[in-house]
Structure formats: structure tokens, C-alpha cells
Amino acid sequence: MSHFKELVEETILDYLLESDDAPLTKKTDNGKHQLLHTDRSMLTKIRKGMSDHEKKHMAGAYRDDTDIVHNKTGRTMTSIHGKTVGQARKEIQAHIAKHHPEQKKSTSPVKHEGDTRSIVTASDDHAEHLKKTFHGKDAKVRIMKRKEGNKVYIDSKSKEHHDTIKSKLDNMTHS
């Protein structure tokens, strides 16, 4: 019967250590903190539930005695004593948001490739308007139908002609 009781206690402890409420350390009788996880399993548990951006900045993080430290900057992301996995994760997410904010990607529909090509994502009407505007002896405009809209390829013969096309395209998208 005692073997069964030990097995149940061990299973309950394993379950608790897997949840967000699992403590990272426990205080011993002499007042010191004892780790309940290995460094690797602790960081794995903390990474669970983070975004890809946050996981990228957690890569290479390490435990330095009482703290979890960012590997490149050497900044302390959180102290682990007396905290649960969930609390440590929230503090690390706040640290990453403050010191490594996510870069917003450009939402411009115009992409310039090289000196003589621009690619524009456009609706049907806008694609036809671009073709009427730019197609001629100095530039070739092709419209390709895609699931997410049309891609309009504008190829010009020289860099000088394409610079004027670029400025017109940029003025069209900013107005």
C-alpha cells in the first residue's frame, strides 16, 4: 500500500511540475532555495506558450545561479526564486517586449526589385489603371492573377526611366 501511496504522490508532483503554477524553486529547512527542475527543462517549460518572436529572443538564454539571463545582452530577464513557471514567463515576456520590441513589417503594396523592376499587389481595377499609366515604349507592364490579388510587374528599359516610375508609384500609394 505504501508503494501505491508513493506512486500517487509522485504522479501528483509530476502533474504540478508540468503546469504554469509549478514552482521553480522550493525553500529548504536551512532557508536556501532548491531547484525543482534542470536548467533545460525549466527553460523549456517557460518557453511553452510564447510567441515565435519571444522564443527567438529566449534562444540561448541561461540560468545564472538565481536569474535567467539573456545570452547576447547579458541582462537579467527574471529572478527565479519564489516564482512559478507562469510568473517567470510573464516577466520574461515583459522584458522582451521592453528591450526587443517586434518590428512591424512594411505594408506597402509596392516592392522594388533591382534597378528596373517593381512589383505591385493590386485589385483588378487598380492593376488595369497601372497598366494604362505605365505601359509604353519605355516600360512593359504585365498583370498576373493570384489568389490574394493581382501582381503587376513593371519592367523598364533603363534605371532613369524606372526612377520616374518609382516616384510615381510611391506618390500613388501615399496619397
User: pLDDT tens-digit profile of 61-116?
Assistant: 888 877 888 888 888 888 887 788 888 888 988 988 888 887 765 566 888 888 88
Q: What is the model's pLDDT at position 154?
A: 92
User: What digits encode the pLDDT tens for the residues 116-125?
Assistant: 899 998 888 8
DSSP secondary-structure letter at 37?
S
More confident residue, 31 or 8: 31
Whether 18 maps to a domain, the answer reads yes
Residues 114 and 90 in one domain: no
If you ran DSSP here, which 8-state letter would residue 105 be given? P
- Residue 36: pLDDT above 70? no
Q: Is 132 a member of any domain?
A: yes
Amino acid occupying residue 94: A
24 shares a domain with 94: yes
Inside any domain, residue 105: no
Task: Report residue 23's pLDDT band, with 50, 70 and 90 as the boundaries.
Answer: low
Give 144's strand partners. 151
**What is the residue type of 146?**
R
Which of 19, 24, 57, 23 has its CA nearest to residue 38? 24
Among the candidates 71, 99, 127, a domain finishes at 99
**Residue 155 falls inside a structural domain:** yes
Output the CA angle 99-104-106, nearest 5 degrees: 150
Question: Are 77 and 156 within one domain?
Answer: no
How many domains does the structure of the chain reveal?
Answer: 2
Domain boundary among 80, 99, 118: 99
**Residue 104 domain-assigned?**
no
Do 79 and 14 lie in one domain? The reply is: yes
166 plus 123 within the same structural domain: yes
Asked if residues 85 and 45 have their Cβ atoms less than 8 Å apart, the reply is yes
- pLDDT value of position 153: 93
Residue 81 belongs to domain spanning: 2-99
38 and 86 assigned to the same domain: yes
Higher pLDDT, 10 or 51: 51
pLDDT on residue 152: 92
- For the cut 60, the answer to whether the pLDDT of residue 175 exceeds it is no
> Is the pLDDT reported for residue 37 higher than 70?
no
